[in-house]
Amino acid sequence: MDIIQIKGGNFLEGEINISGSKNASLPMIIASLLTEDKIKIRNIPNLSDVFTLLKLIKSLGSEFELINEDNSTYKLIIQTKKIKSNIAPYDLVRKMRASFWVLAPLILRYGEAKVSLPGGCAIGTRPINFYLSILKKMGALIKIKDGYVKASIKNNLKPINYKLDFPSVGVTHFFLMISSLIEGESIIRNAAIEPEIISLAEMLNKMGAKIKGYGTSKIVIKGCSKLKGTDITIPSDRIEAGTFALAVTATGGKLKLKSINIKEIEALKNVLQNTDVEIKSLENSIEIIKKNGVIHPIDIETKPYPGFPTDLQAQFMALMAYSNGKSKIKETIFENRFMHVQELVRMGGDISLAGNTAIIKGKKDCLHSAPVMATDLRASASLVLAGLVARGETKIDRIYHIDRGYERIEEKLNSLGANIERVNA
């Protein structure tokens, strides 16, 4: 199993290209199953989550070609002429929760589907109650048996007007996909407004769907009988960009992030500007300059977009552990997204938990190397950031977590002056 070894203390200087977004790629690849036509998706990132999903959809009957383009991004040419299997097995769905969304194309094109319950993960129980309530209201027959959701359609699914209790990103993706092929007008209220929702809606509209209001909390979908092929490009990964912005804030230095627009990380930008960071918005890139080593402590609360993203919470905590004062981080999206706390404490962080709030007593140079373990994707990114500034050599185990969402992170960081090595332990 690979581990990452980081010798801390180097500045970060230079420029990197932000890869295609993991959280836009997954729903857009699944949306390709909604048509029997050929779909081209460009700027696919080289991530293990993408390959896990491709393995699943191949088993469902998709045929695809993955063409390696410049700097290892991929162009995916995919076609699902016929759904050959309607089963999404546990061993794939448990690895990558977004696989659950294949339930939408399966039930529409096959009439019934057997999809494993995603199960919980390190950051929470990850329930699917909103998905099931939508399917039932649309008229699907739902049975939960042996850890699987068995869904079938007696007559055609009917359009519904549904208000979400929480602006769930996944449920909004799911609702857009399934409603695109249900005759009539469907409405989802309190919908998620993340940029990935906009990317999916734009793709579905290019395929012939009629979706209005995406990017706002009320989305109206006029379903059609058939969707057609299209050629679409994955937007850049705003969470990868935010992770690198936090890294250079911690280490000091000057970084240019290419192919990303500042508005994608607006909430983080507003926070970082209170820690003496200069952030410049250039033509489709961002420049982050951190001259002095002063990191002011700042309280944050994670929120649905456009609030501070929960996917940057763990990385921000590493920065606050290294700041010169006390700060609080409140996690309001997931009930257990603090698995990185104990590992940061092992590295010298002074962090305690009170319910869904972490209290961090930051201290400059408090972080030192220690053998630590990644527990989930963003926790592993947090440990890499801590390792970049910790004294000595930090060893991070179970690094397969980080490959789920970051393309060649050690290569990118080394190209900026870090001292990182991936070794086979």
Q: Is residue 402 involved in binding ligand EPZ (CB under 6 A)? A: no
Which region, judged by CB under 6 A, interacts with ligand EPZ, from 21-29, 215-223, 288-296, 354-362?
21-29
The Cα–Cα gap between 395 and 3 comes to: 7
Select from 18, 67, 75, 66 the least CA-distant residue to 42. 75
Contact pick of 110, 316, 334, 338 for ligand EPZ (by CB under 6 A): 334
Which region, judged by CB under 6 A, interacts with ligand EPZ, from 121-129, 257-265, 282-290, 413-421?
121-129
Q: What are phi and psi of 318, to 5 degrees?
A: -60, -40
Residue 354: exposure state from Cβ atoms within 10 A (0-12, 13-18, ≥19): exposed
- When the beta carbons of 101 and 110 are compared against ligand EPZ, the nearer one is 101
- When the beta carbons of 214 and 334 are compared against ligand EPZ, the nearer one is 334
Residue 130 CB, shortest distance to ligand EPZ, in Å, is 3
- When the beta carbons of 246 and 377 are compared against ligand EPZ, the nearer one is 377
Count of residues of this chain found to bind ligand EPZ when the rule CB under 6 A is applied: 24
Residue 219 CB, shortest distance to ligand EPZ, in Å, is 15
Catalytic residue from among 3, 24, 93, 121 = 121
Q: Is residue 171 involved in binding ligand EPZ (CB under 6 A)? A: yes
Contact pick of 68, 129, 281, 352 for ligand EPZ (by CB under 6 A): 129
Phi-psi region of 354 (alpha: psi -120 to 50; beta: other; left: phi over 0): beta
Pairing of strands 351-354, 326-330: unpaired
- When the beta carbons of 163 and 291 are compared against ligand EPZ, the nearer one is 163
Residue 364 CB, shortest distance to ligand EPZ, in Å, is 28
Contact pick of 10, 19, 21, 23 for ligand EPZ (by CB under 6 A): 23
DSSP labels for 318-373?
HHHHTSSSEEEEE--S-TT--HHHHHHHHTT--EEEETTEEEEE--TT--B--EEE
Q: Is residue 130 involved in binding ligand EPZ (CB under 6 A)? A: yes
Give catalytic status of residue 224 as yes or no. no
Select from 28, 42, 25, 48 the least CA-distant residue to 408. 48
Q: Which of residues 86-115 bind ligand EPZ (CB under 6 A)?
A: 97-98
Residue 120 CB, shortest distance to ligand EPZ, in Å, is 9
Contact 318, 294 (CB under 8 A): no
Tokens 């994608």 sit on residue? 264
Dmax (CA) of the chain: 65
Which region, judged by CB under 6 A, interacts with ligand EPZ, from 165-173, 178-186, 223-231, 383-391?
165-173
Task: Give the H/E segment covering residue 397.
Answer: strand 393-397
Select from 192, 191, 179, 93 the least CA-distant residue to 139. 179
- When the beta carbons of 103 and 295 are compared against ligand EPZ, the nearer one is 103
- Inter-CA distances, 203 with 228, 229, 377, 408, Å: 11, 10, 27, 27
The Cα–Cα gap between 278 and 252 comes to: 11
Select from 155, 157, 151 the least CA-distant residue to 177. 157
Q: Is residue 330 involved in binding ligand EPZ (CB under 6 A)? A: no
Q: Is residue 200 involved in binding ligand EPZ (CB under 6 A)? A: no
Which region, judged by CB under 6 A, interacts with ligand EPZ, from 126-134, 199-207, 212-220, 385-393?
126-134
| Bridge partners, residue 197, by sequence | none
Residue 367 CB, shortest distance to ligand EPZ, in Å, is 23
Which region, judged by CB under 6 A, interacts with ligand EPZ, from 35-43, 72-80, 164-172, 254-262?
164-172
CA atoms within 13 A on the CB side of 81: 2
Which residue ranges make up the site for ligand EPZ (CB under 6 A)?
22-23, 26, 97-98, 124, 126-131, 166, 168-171, 310-311, 333-334, 377-378, 405
Active site residues: 121
